[in-house]
Structure 1
Amino acid sequence: MKFGISYSTPYHGIDPDKIVAYAQHAEDCGFESLYVPEHIALYPGATVGRFELPPALPYFDPLDCLSFVAAATRRILLGTGVLLLPYHHPVVLAKRLATVDVLSKGRMRLLTAGLGSLPGEARAMGVDFSTRGRRADEAIDVMRLLWAGGEDGVSFDGEFFTFDGLCQFPKPHGATRLPIHIGGSSRAAARRAGRRGDGYFPGGALDPGERAIQMDIARSAAVEAGRDPGTLEYTRSGPIDMTADQVEAFAAQGVTRVVVSATATEPGRQHEEMSAFAQRFALLERLSG
């Protein structure tokens, strides 16, 4: 089992010193990865499920934030939870991801991409909300094509993106592709994870039966696409006070990574929560092993 931790600016704040201290302490504790979320723009009345999002919630650009974190850390992997893929042009996004990966010496390895659930956000970005799934699928294909392409250039002719003989350098650090995990809470997201993803990170508001169904869908979709379902990582969110029994239950469901988050807002208490979790699950020993 791998253990990541998230930093949410709407809850934990936007003070750069706090972000650096949080990331550095997470790294010192032995956490594998640090995740940050994304919203590009909010508006009065925006709701996710039954919850209304206050329009003044502050969200950093996730890749800019992770670049900042990378400069202040040495080892911790960088993740998004989730980046709203349909609202980014994949040619630009491929360049930005490869740049962060090169500058961090290969740590931009836990991109989790979702579709977004706010119609107003889609309209603001000029995206037809009903097409965002197809747009995301094409975007994944485009980025992987660009990362793998050579000096002769690559071409793509899709519903949303078209180009001929395009070259993009530098490549990701020591690689010709970056992992792309799929986030979401729907069966369509599970199918996307199986067909195109390197992992699935489902949302939190699912009952155990639906979770099991979705993972079965993801694995079946991988088989249908000629991919090995055994390579599909399964990430779940969990509470920072979770017990060993809870982690064992996750492992029994096939979970390969748990992402927690500090509940405190004061840095000292945050560090105590992280340290207690790290000691409970011997994160530094796992890291060295």
Structure 2
Amino acid sequence: MKFATSYSTPFYGADPDKLIAYARHAEACGFEALYLPEHIALYPGAQIGGMELPPSLPYPDPLTCLTFVAAATERILLGTGVLLLPYHHPVTLAKRLATIDVLSKGRMRLLTIGVGALPGEAQAVGVDYRTRGRRADEAIEVMRLLWAGGEEGVSFHGEFFSFDDLSSFPKPFNATDLPIHVGGSSRAAARRAGRLGDGYFPGGALAPAERAAQMDLARTTAIEAGRDPEALEYTRFGSMDMSTERVEAFAAQGVTRIVVGPTTTDPDEQREEMTTFATRFNLTPTPG
């Protein structure tokens, strides 16, 4: 089992010193990765799952923050949970992600994408909310094509994106691709993970039966697409106080990674939570 941690900047603060201190301590404790969320724009009345998001919540750009974190750490992997893929142009996003991966020496490896749940956010960036799933599918194809393409260039003609003989350098660090995990709480997300993803990261508010059904759907969709279902990673949210028995139950369900976040805004208490968790599960830093 792999263990990562999330840092929800809207609730724990966008203070640069606190973010770096959290990331460095997570690395020292042996957590595999640090995940950051994204919202591009909020507005009065914005709700997700019945929970209202105050417009004043600070959502700094996650990729900028992860670049900042990468410069201050050595080993911890960089993750998003989730990046709203339909609201980014895949040509520029492919360049940004590859650049972060190069500068971090191969640590931009836990990109998790979603399609968004706020219609007003889609409208703000000029995206038809009804097409966001199809845009995400195309964007994944475009980015992978650009990462793998050479000096001769690659071409793509889809519903939303079109270009001829395009080259994108630098490539990811010692690679021609970056893993793309799919996040979400819907069967459409599970199918996307099976067709196109390297893993599935379902949301937290799902009944156990639906959660199991979605992971089964991801695997069967992978088989239908001619892909190896066993290669799909399965990431779940956990809690800082979770027991070894709970982790064993997750493992029995096929979970390969657990992401936990702090329960407090106090930096000292956050560090104590991480240290206690790391001790409970015998985490050790990956050698540099």
TM-score when normalising by structure 1:
0.99
Aligned residues between the structures: 287
Question: In 2, distance between residues paired with 1:278 and 1:240?
Answer: 10
Task: Specify the SS of the correspondent of 2:10.
Answer: helix
Q: Give the match for residue 151 of structure 2.
A: 151
Q: How does 1:79-118 map to 2 (within 5 A)?
A: 79-118=79-118
Residue deviations 1:2-28 (CA, integer Å, cap 9, x gap)? 000001111110110000000000000
Question: In 2, distance between residues paired with 1:164 and 1:284?
Answer: 47
Question: Is 2:18 the counterpart of 1:4?
Answer: no
Q: Give the match for residue 188 of structure 2.
A: 188
Task: Specify the SS of the correspondent of 1:274.
Answer: helix
Question: In 1, distance between residues paired with 2:265 and 2:184?
Answer: 27
Q: Residue type matched to 1:53 in 2? A: L
Task: Specify the SS of the correspondent of 2:173.
Answer: coil
Residue deviations 1:175-203 (CA, integer Å, cap 9, x gap)? 00000000000000000000000000000
Task: Specify the SS of the correspondent of 2:21.
Answer: helix
Residue deviations 1:13-64 (CA, integer Å, cap 9, x gap)? 0110000000000000000000000000000000001111111000010100
Task: Specify the SS of the correspondent of 2:3.
Answer: strand
Query: Could you list the runs of 4 or more consecutive aligned residues of structure 1 that deviate by over 3 angstroms after TM superposition?
Result: none
Q: Give the match for residue 228 of structure 1.
A: 228
Q: Which sections of structure 2, spanning at least 5 residues, go unmatched? A: none
Q: Give the match for residue 270 of structure 2.
A: 270
Task: Specify the SS of the correspondent of 2:174.
Answer: coil
Question: In 2, distance between residues paired with 1:274 and 1:264?
Answer: 11
Task: Specify the SS of the correspondent of 2:284.
Answer: helix
Question: In 2, distance between residues paired with 1:2 and 1:10?
Answer: 25
Q: How does 1:54-69 map to 2 (within 5 A)?
A: 54-69=54-69
Q: Residue type matched to 1:9 in 2? A: T
Q: Residue type matched to 1:46 in 2? A: A
Residue deviations 1:111-149 (CA, integer Å, cap 9, x gap)? 000000000000001000000000000000000000000
Q: Give the match for residue 253 of structure 1.
A: 253
Q: Residue type matched to 1:273 in 2? A: E
> 1:226 Cα deviation (Å)?
0.4
Question: In 1, distance between residues paired with 2:77 and 2:157?
Answer: 33
Q: Residue type matched to 2:244 in 1? A: A
Question: In 1, distance between residues paired with 2:212 and 2:239?
Answer: 20
Question: In 1, distance between residues paired with 2:189 and 2:219?
Answer: 12
Q: Which sections of structure 1, spanning at least 5 residues, go unmatched? A: none
Q: Give the match for residue 27 of structure 1.
A: 27
Q: Residue type matched to 1:205 in 2? A: A
TM-score when normalising by structure 2:
0.99
> 1:264 Cα deviation (Å)?
1.3
Question: Is 2:179 the counterpart of 1:179?
Answer: yes
> 1:107 Cα deviation (Å)?
0.0
Question: In 2, distance between residues paired with 1:14 and 1:70?
Answer: 16
Question: In 1, distance between residues paired with 2:52 and 2:12?
Answer: 19
> 1:266 Cα deviation (Å)?
1.0
Residue deviations 1:206-240 (CA, integer Å, cap 9, x gap)? 01000110011000000000000000000000111
Question: In 2, distance between residues paired with 1:265 and 1:234?
Answer: 28
Q: Give the match for residue 48 of structure 1.
A: 48
Q: Residue type matched to 1:134 in 2? A: R
> 1:255 Cα deviation (Å)?
0.2
Question: In 2, distance between residues paired with 1:131 and 1:13?
Answer: 33
Q: Residue type matched to 1:200 in 2? A: Y
Q: Residue type matched to 2:204 in 1? A: G
